[in-house]
Structure 1
Amino acid sequence: MIQDKKGYYIGIDVGTGSARACLIDHNGEIVDVASENVGLWQPQQEYYEQSTSDIWRCICLVVRRTLDNKKISPELVYGIGFDATCSLSLFSSKTNEPVSVTGPDFISDRNVILWLDHRATEETEIINNTSHKVLHYIGGKMSLEMEIPKILWLKNNMSEAMFSDCKFYDLVDALTHIATGGEVRGFSSMVCKQGYLPKGVEGSVTGWQEDFLREIGLEEICDTSFESLGGINGKNGRHLHAGEFAGNLCEKAAQELGLSAGTPIGSGVIDAYAGWIGTVGAKVDINESTLTGSSSDDRKEVFSRLAVVAGTSTCHLAMSPGPVFTPGVWGPYRDTIFPGCWMAEGGQSATGQLLKHILETHPAFEEAQKKAERTEMNIFEFLNTRLRNLAVERKVSCVADLVRHFFFYGDLFGNRSPLGDSKMTGSIVGLSSDTSINGLAILYYGTLEFIALQTKQIVDTMNDSGHQIRSIFMSGSQCQNEILVSLIATACNMPVVVPRYVHAAVCHGAAMLGVKAASVDDKGKTEDLWDVINRMSQPGKAFYPSEAQHEIALLAAKYEVFIDQCLRQREYRAIVDKATRY
């Protein structure tokens, strides 16, 4: 078996702003991680574009860097796996070359419409007005962050000849396409987010819903047996589950990456799902059998674990043995990770991005940043220390008492879950004229409180719908913020587990896809992914809810206000719209 060999695997993660390569050994220990910023273009407001040529160049740099740093021979790398943002990539069906997404002339070398691109507003509305059954499996309505609205936008803005030449890939599938030299034409499990219903779901036969695509105006795709989307599984395409053997590294890609031609490639996943893979197996004794009433079987315990992958935005991923429908939560999607299992995906449109915005637009930010640097702290450590000192100075029982009458609602970038309302904005009650560092610290803590309370809102909504979430497994840079992690644990009243590799959980998960692919036998069968996760995951750290009754009561009261702020904003909008007949 491949797991008995002493060698290495590489996980490649393409996020919103960077490409990373993670080199792990046969025990799942991370040997090295390298990162390179990728290009991001914004031709106009709310338009965001990237280039697979630029992304591939960055991938090659970071893979070579990890091998060079540790002097690893390419022959000792047994498998690779990819993850990427859920972004739309275009290639020509005639030449296999990238196709521009930059209107109105479509002559740039940028062929990726990024996930956060909001150009397809009208197209999204058209799609959601269909009330088609596929919408029931993506949280009730399609988000303009998804790819089908972007494809419809391209049809409405490209020439007919150019559009008919396009092949559409999720970015992670595009990377596999490049890595295999175009020999693989199929699709990963990520298509479940794009109006695809697996065979047997709602009577689906081919997966792609022809009546849906024709109704929204994409009949050309249906007329070619869905070839431009990856085809029909078993006919003119392949539907691969996470980590299944997708193909071998071609000569050209191998030379560019500094790897051996023929290296097995695991079918990729969206970055948040790679975070799930790299997070939920963390080895921590949190007495889940007591919490859930289930057995000690890890495979069953995973249904009670919510993976919270916190970066620029935050994804909340829950697996269930059967479909669970939750308003405002994307999914349920079948087969995205384990065959036959379902995934639900909640999310906060901005968390890391929200904190960045709140800090950098405050008058005291530059002063706070300089003081943080002088004390050799990052800005979050500095502000956390300032808050703790303020609590002592003002003789309050806990940091939360500093903001007892300060209420911050932070949907500055719209709401992904559980409202699914892109028109949501922010609000503050308790705003003062304090522009000092102390004022910044208060606003910062209010933002952390908002992130924690909205996490509770998402968790409660999912559990009310039938999930059985009893613990949170959280990864991403925000896990380093102990105040935030503790707030989430107390707000949700459940343990929060942080994996060993806080920053690298996503690319660690991608590397596990390479481990699974490398185990392929002559019949195409690979090792069970949960066995890989269980074997490769490392010990983590658990944070538990506060036992201080005052703090618990205070946070519970703040949650009531949070919900009121959330609902009241929509009421205010309705009052004004009714008065002006909007």
Structure 2
Amino acid sequence: MQNFQNFKNQDSAAYSLFHKQMLADKAASPNPEKFMSTHPDLNKYYIGVDVGSGSARACCIDATGNILSLSEKVINKEVLKPNHVTQSSNEIWDAICHCVKLCVSEADLQPHDIYGLAFDATCSLVAVDIDSGKPLGVGPNFDNTDQNIVMWQDHRASKEQKVINSTGHRVLKYVGGGMSIEMELPKMKWLHDNLNKETFAKYDFYDLADYLTYKSTGNKTRSLCSTVCKQGCLAPGVEGSTKGWEDDFFNAIGIEDFVENDFVQVGGSAENFLTAGEYVGHLTKEAAQDLGLSTDCVVGSSVIDAYAGFLGTVGANIDVDIPALKEIDSKENGFNKASGRLASVAGTSTCHISIEKKDGVFCKGNWGPYYGVCFKDLYMFEGGQSFTGGLLNHVLTNHPAYTQLCKEAEEAGINKFDYLNSKLEIMKEKIEEKSVVALAKHIFFYGDFLGNRCPLNDPDMTASIIGQTTDVSLENLAITYLASCEFLAQQTKQIVDNLKNSGNVIECIFISGSQCKNGLLMRLFSDCTQLPIIVPRYIDAAVCFGTALLGCAAFKNYKTFHSKDSKPTNKTQARVQEDTFVADRSPSPYTQPSATAKTILGPSIKKKVEKVTDYFSQAPANSEGSSGNSSSYGVHSLTGDSSKISLDDNVDPKMVAGNYLWDIMTNLTGTGKSILPNSMDHPDVQLLNTKYDIFLDQQNTQSMYRKRVDDKLAELRKK
């Protein structure tokens, strides 16, 4: 459990616009000691639940976007056969309930203080009985009904994926030309093909996040985010679609059953599906009891975890002047201001999410355009890397020098990645290289250990390393690690370039997840893509935070569109102490990195390097927006028109759906730190560009070699 209230020294520059405005209002108030009693709505709180691959988490935010508490509980997965990876929805629900209760307790709140709740989760497929809602088995052991989730990383449906993609149906052009094996429709087809017709008809399918909203509210309404992005649905209005599901497509892939029963097993007509943060329902009595909340709490429409990361980062202020974003901000309104902002949500794998307002933009190899999945009338694109944080962990743990690395990093009092970054700096000085990047000049690392998600959509891609020797020293581990970081940056460049070449506008990258703490990796990302990298206020909690914003949006949506009556107020609305609204209310152990490589070397390094790059201090001292009280493009200025920064729960009913969510994002997210790219004539950039050509050659050559061998084998079989 992380208790955010115990940290007292967070830089006020990271606060949200709304928090800064409330602090200013309190300072200007004639009775500041009475501020909370005159602003009782500041005592509204929201919870976001994030279900990742290995754990469930919950965070609680206040009305100004400050995370007050964060809790986490491990969840398990089962692998009975290769490529068959399953989980239990019962175990996940129990973990969520544990986290939510702990979160509320640690924030010193009561159940009735929580006004809104929302969920995000991995794009995993849940199967329950269509009548009772009880779990159903998903194989390979169908008798074990407790294991009722086919995880996103389950790759059993390779044959089914190929069948789906062989149709060439128009639906597929909205997923980059072909469905990924990690999407949910191939998994549904596998179950269809491995169950008899009568048994299959009992299966009700949900994306995991949608299942959690159903479990919470009893409402089976699906989200556009999950159905459009992962299940083969076309949002109403796209390609003339009315109900979302295309009969001829499902007939072509062999799941006629869905057509025959009007797609009831996947939620029915998409006309009833919801976009991000729309009101789904109130907590049922049973769910409220399980979660330790009140039935007054509203639940918002869910999103896939990567999209929650998008919501939790791209609305941030930026601490430097980025002219391209400033121009977009001056020309656009509402959520169109998010154009140009790519979110990279990094964990074991990484998803890249961008937004596009133009119709008819397609990007082969990247998924989308997805219409209306988070914001009505706007399109979203997604690119992905299957193995990123997992790749770095794999490289370290499988090297003979790993034990030595653990020992020396522990003695230095720093994490393994910081230690390796420091080691590389020492090696650079020792051999008099101009930069760390040059240390891996003759290592050509291609890291698709788990296949390629984008832009190749090829699960058969594998890894290769050119330049290995018999060296098994810690220095060799450091260089191999550097080469793997370079690979991740080059692959990100490929995905970004693919999006940009297809007509997407991308001007900067907002990266969230623990990889943000790695300054060397962030520098490589910036130099390879030639884009500013923005590190959010909440690094590890950005996804959970984004989902909490959906809980806030759901409550405002409910108040505006679904009820003329406010939530019951005969609770102790002003019970919070009068002095709680102060600058130290929002501390967090997950704020942006502030330590430089120089300050984290630790005593065992003994100052072997006098000058070490500070990757997180890239902004010029006089940059516009560097002041803690300034605002940035894409947000409302505190000194200008701040009419939309308001405690008012109701939003303008005429406002385009999604714009009020954008207002919530920009006013509650806070300020991100930036890393700016070196110029194109910088030696590091020139070297990385040369190695990018080699990266592409390795990729193309592997595909060519496999094809040559497969063609020869096919020829031999005919003889």
* Class of the TM-score when normalised by the shorter of the 2 chains: over 0.9
Are the equivalent residues in 2 in contact too, given 1:139–1:331 (CA < 8 A)? yes
Tell me, yes or no, if the aligned pair for 1:249 and 1:263 is still in contact at 8 Å: yes
- Say which of 247, 263, 277 aligns to 1:226: 263
Name the residue aligned to 1:580. 713
Highest RCO, 1 vs 2 (Cα 8 Å, sep ≥ 6): 2
**Does residue 1:14 correspond to 2:54, yes or no?**
no
Which has the higher mean CA deviation after the structures are superposed, 429-438 or 267-276? 429-438
Secondary structure in structure 2 of the residue aligned to 1:123: helix
Q: What residue in structure 2 maps to residue 402 of structure 1? A: 439
Contact 1:188-1:268 at 8 Å conserved across structures: no
When the two structures are superposed, what TM-score results if normalisation uses the length of structure 2? 0.78
Change (3 A) 1:290 1:89: closer
Q: Superposed, which structure 2 residues align to 1:328-367 within 5 Å? A: 328-367=365-404
- Whichever residue aligns with residue 270 of structure 1, its letter is I
- Give me the whole-angstrom Cα distance separating, in 2, the residues matched to 1:65 and 1:255: 14
Alignment equivalent of 1:305, drawn from 324, 338, 341: 341
Q: How does 1:177-576 map to 2 (within 5 A)?
A: 177-180=214-217, 182-193=218-229, 194-234=231-271, 238-290=272-324, 293-296=327-330, 297=332, 299-323=335-359, 324-519=361-556, 520-521=558-559, 523-524=561-562, 527=651, 528-547=660-679, 549-576=682-709
Could you tell me which residue of structure 1 aligns to residue 576 of structure 2? none
Aligned counterpart for 1:144 among listed residues 181, 194, 198: 181
Question: How far apart are 1:104 and its partner, in Å?
Answer: 4.5
Which 5+ residue runs of structure 1 have no aligned equivalent? none
Deviates more, 1:270-279 or 1:161-170: 161-170
Inter-partner Cα distance in structure 1 for 2:258 and 2:714: 39
Q: Note the C-alpha offset of 1:537.
A: 0.7
Q: Is the 8 A contact 2:345 2:351 kept in 1?
A: yes
The TM-score normalised by the length of structure 1 is: 0.96
User: Which stretch shifts more, 18-27 or 285-294?
Assistant: 285-294
For the aligned residue pairs, the C-alpha RMSD in angstroms reads 1.7
Q: Which moved more, 1:521-530 or 1:486-495?
A: 521-530
What is the alpha-carbon distance in structure 2 between the residues aligned to residue 291 and residue 531 of structure 1?
A: 17
Report the more deviating stretch, 421-430 or 296-305.
Answer: 296-305
Per-residue CA deviation, residues 150-186 of structure 1 (Å, 9 max, x unaligned), is 1111111123222111100010010011111x24444
CA distance in 2, matches of 1:149, 1:428: 32
Range with bigger deviation, 525-534 or 286-295: 286-295
% identity of equivalent residues: 42
The Cα of 1:470 is off from its aligned counterpart by 1.1
Structure 2 CA distance, aligned partners of 1:522 and 1:402?
Answer: 58
Three-state SS of the structure 1 residue aligned to 2:317 is coil
Aligned to 1:41: 78
SS where residue 470 of structure 1 aligns? strand
2:67 alignment partner AA: I
Amino acid at match of 2:362: F
Residues 328 and 339 in structure 2, CA contact (< 8 A), matched pair in contact too: no
Aligned residues of 1:104 and 1:157 also touching (Cα < 8 A): no
Contact 1:292 1:304 in 2 (8 A): no
Cα distance in 1, alignment partners of residues 335 and 301 from structure 2: 21
Distance 2:113 2:142 in 1: 46
SS across alignment from 1:521: helix
Give the direction of change, closer, same or farther, for the CA distance of 1:522–1:28 in structure 2 (3 Å limit): closer
Please state how far the C-alpha of 1:188 moved relative to its aligned partner: 4.0
Q: Secondary structure at the match of 2:510?
A: strand
Shift of 1:281: 1.0
State the distance in 2 between where 1:476 and 1:380 align.
14
Secondary structure at 1:333 match in 2:
strand
* Cα separation, 1, equivalents of 2:711 and 2:260: 44
Contact 1:78 1:264 in 2 (8 A): yes
- Once the two structures are superposed, residues 3-54 of structure 1 have per-residue CA deviations (whole angstroms, 9 ceiling, x without a partner) of 9442210000000111000110100011111110111111111111011100
1:98 to 135, 141, 148: 135
Greater Rg by CA: 2
Matched, 1:169 2:206: yes
Amino acid at match of 1:560: D
Q: Distance in 2 between matches of 1:577 and 1:156?
A: 27
1:63 aligns with 2:100: yes
- Kept in 2, the 8 Å contact 1:279–1:307? The answer is yes
Query: Deviation string for 1:46-67 (max 9, x for gaps)?
Result: 1110111000000011111111
Per-residue deviation at 1:373?
A: 1.2
**C-alpha contact 1:188 1:267 (8 A) present in aligned 2:** no
Give the secondary-structure state (helix, strand or coil) at the position aligned to 2:403.
Answer: helix
SS in 1 for 2:215: helix
Partner SS, residue 344 of structure 1? strand
Letter in 2 for 1:411: D
Matched with 2:157 is: 120
Q: 1:303 and 1:53 mapped to 2: Cα distance?
A: 39
